[in-house]
Amino acid sequence: MEEEEILINGKFNNKHSKYKSIKYTNVTLFILFYFLEVIFADLDGQTANILGVAITFFIARYFIREIFKKNPDFNYKILKTFGVYLGVFIIKSIILTIILVSLGAEI
């Protein structure tokens, strides 16, 4: 059944039944991180940076899909998805901070 294959014609099949919970978690985390970005930007008197949230989403989604391709039956899918998302967010934030500091910006 094509719907149950992980790859179809070399492309990732996001309609795989076991990927559904991961897909919903990804979208939920994107929305959560967007609202957090809006709240924290508002507290600092800045505008929200949707690009940073989108970058986090797409990088995390890539890693989660790679994990899923290797093991579609992995346990704790939602928890691991959240962990990957949070890890990518933290690493991206650290790298961005290092770049800004090296350019002379005050953080």
Token digits of residue 37: 């970005």
- pTM score above 0.85: no
pLDDT tens column, 41-91: 777 777 778 888 888 899 999 999 998 888 888 788 888 889 999 999 889
Is the Cβ–Cβ distance between 53 and 33 less than 8 Å?
A: yes
pLDDT at 107: 60
pLDDT tens column, 12-51: 888 888 888 888 888 999 999 888 888 887 777 777 788 8
DSSP 37-102: HHHHHHHHT----HHHHHHHHHHHHHHHHHHHHH-TT-S-HHHHHHHHHHHHHHHHHHHHHHHHHH
What residue type is 45 in one-letter code? G
